[in-house]
Amino acid sequence: MATVLGVNGVFHDPAAAVVADGVIRAAAEEERFTRRKHGKTPVPFSTWELPEQAIAWCLAEAGVDVDAIDAVAYSYSPDLAREVGHDVTTDDWESLRSLFVQRAPRFLRTVLPGLDPAVVRFVPHHRAHAASSYLAAPYGDCATMVVDGRGERGSFLAGRVRDGDLDVLSTVDLPHSLGLMYETATEHLGFRRSSDEYKVMALAAYGEPAHLDTLRELVRVDGGAFTTAPIDWSRFAPPGRGEDGWTRADADLAASVQRRLEEALLELAGWLHDVTGEHALTMAGGVALNCVANTRIAEESPFDAVWVQPAAGDAGTALGAALHVAHELGDTVTPMTTAALGRAWDDDAVAAALEVADVPYTRPADLAAAVADVLAADGLVAWVQGRSEWGPRALGHRSLLANPARAENLVRLNDVKGREQFRPVAPMVLAERAAEIFEGPLPSPYMLFTHRVKPEWRDRIPAVVHVDGTARIQTVDARDQPLLAAMLRALEARTGVPVCVNTSLNTGGRPMVDSPRDASSASAPARSTRWRSVAVWFAADRSSRRPPSGTRHDHGTVVRGRGADDRTPAGPSAAPRVDRALLGAGPGGGGGRRRPPRRAAATRRESLRRRCGGDRGA
């Protein structure tokens, strides 16, 4: 029985995780504490920076002292990295990165006084990614595939798993990289690389893969390997302006890059199935966050099942490294059953945060019904319940909710969050109702696949239908999230629609909120008109399942303001028993009609459709 601390700190998304006796006890990204998106800039000079606050919290949550740590699993191996030369400035300072990694045990000792540096174990980057999928997945034997920008020297790993042991069947060395290919296209289109690739995926739906034949020549797959030639993106489109605007040429380039990525991944998955014969595929690496590509693999590859690590990016290597070492030390690893692995607060802490922020609160008798009332009246709801999510997707723990039946809510939410108008928002739906409305891989609890919205539902939930007729859904299982399920049922009783808009509770360029202070500061103290229509709720859901990681209670949040009805529902509760709930009144006050969306914003959204020839999903 071992206690393992996992740490990711080399590139971006620094994070920590604790696995004790084979069970995931806690996992958190540093950005949730520092409020800096992605934690740090992925340059060699930042390699020494460790996720100090995430480490401290994970250990505290698991009840582990420094002297009880059996191993620290660091998700990068200096043995595989470039050798440290006499001049650390060569090769874009890559030797400096290697030097800092070699010194990681010493850096860790400064963060954890008393730590024996000998307990630090280096886990190769792609093995850590792989372990985060195959050891966390609900399978025994399986195939696994890792695709990202880069690790120590490579960008791809594929293998077979038997009894928790990985047999590596193929790797691809740099400079060939599907992830870096996508990153450089992202940068050319005017977005931030190693961060905004999901925006390119969204933009692709507005274009045609006009350059696909050329990209097929430049990006070639041969069995379980591939090559990526240097690409001059300017031959396809001028440098883009990113969030300041885009052109049809930008959309066509995004569509071409996206389509070639999908094709390459399908070819690699097909080869892996041929050589392993496994029925299940697990995936990790930053490219595995591309839910459009994931869907094609799930539907078109020979694999019967596909499971993707919710924190598929570099943050997930902290968990994967810890699981890998726990397995090496002889523990039987328990599969991951929830992404709710972060922080939660008790009632006193929530109340204190609301009082400091000067946000009044009440305790409705039926929280699910009260939230449904706000949504049915076209209010926005910032829902913060229980432990925060592990990974970049909002899964009903730190979510911004809205009524999907109003098309203008897409423009409204993108304005509220300061996002580009071409970006979609996602729906959540009860797991048992999903197949009535959506076609695609089900269930989808971690929002890692896209689904086709059935034609008869597109006009009923227009706010969550992307221009190509798809939606990236989250299925809600009442056994895992009873309060959220009760809210969805209450919303359907009021609107006839068993779907709710679910987008991350943050503003553009900022991490998702994590603490009650974060949530309250997103509404009451910020007197911005953007947030005046939002209402915030904090709820204690005693009946939701959670991993055995302490005795804190689960909590959650929503905001009430303009456009939200101020009634407190009476009568028996249809939701699971909620014996403590806090309702925060937002800066707009209660009651009143919400101001209609700005005409210019609605016009911008419509212009996107006209620019690309109407609704491509029709």
Give the active site residues. 12
Q: Cα separation of 162 and 559, whole Å?
A: 48
Q: Cα separation of 54 and 57, whole Å?
A: 5
Q: Cα separation of 158 and 145, whole Å?
A: 4
Q: Cα separation of 323 and 329, whole Å?
A: 10
Q: Cα separation of 449 and 295, whole Å?
A: 5
Q: Cα separation of 127 and 123, whole Å?
A: 7
Burial 113-126 (b: 16+ CB within 10 A, else e): eebeeebbbbbbbb
Q: Cα separation of 276 and 269, whole Å?
A: 10
Cα–Cα separations (whole angstroms), residue 472 to 204, 247, 292, 448: 15, 24, 9, 7
Q: Cα separation of 431 and 434, whole Å?
A: 5
Count other C-beta atoms under 10 Å from residue 68's C-beta.
11
Whether residue 446 contacts residue 339, with contact meaning beta carbons closer than 8 Å, is answered with yes
Q: For helices 125-134 and 316-328, what crossing angle results, to 10°? A: 80
All residues at 6 or more sequence positions from 144 whose CB lies less than 8 Å from its CB, including other chains: 130, 133, 134, 157, 158, 159, 160, 161, 166, 281, 282, 283, 284
What SS3 state is found at 603?
helix
φ/ψ of residue 254, rounded to 5 = -60, -45
What SS3 state is found at 85?
coil
Count other C-beta atoms under 10 Å from residue 9's C-beta.
33
- Helix runs in 277-336, H state only: 291-300, 316-328
Dig out the tokens for 260 from the structure.
Answer: 């070639």
All residues at 6 or more sequence positions from 586 whose CB lies less than 8 Å from its CB, including other chains: 359, 523, 524, 531, 532, 533, 534, 535, 536, 559, 560, 561, 562
φ/ψ of residue 444, rounded to 5 = -140, 70
Whether residue 447 contacts residue 470, with contact meaning beta carbons closer than 8 Å, is answered with no
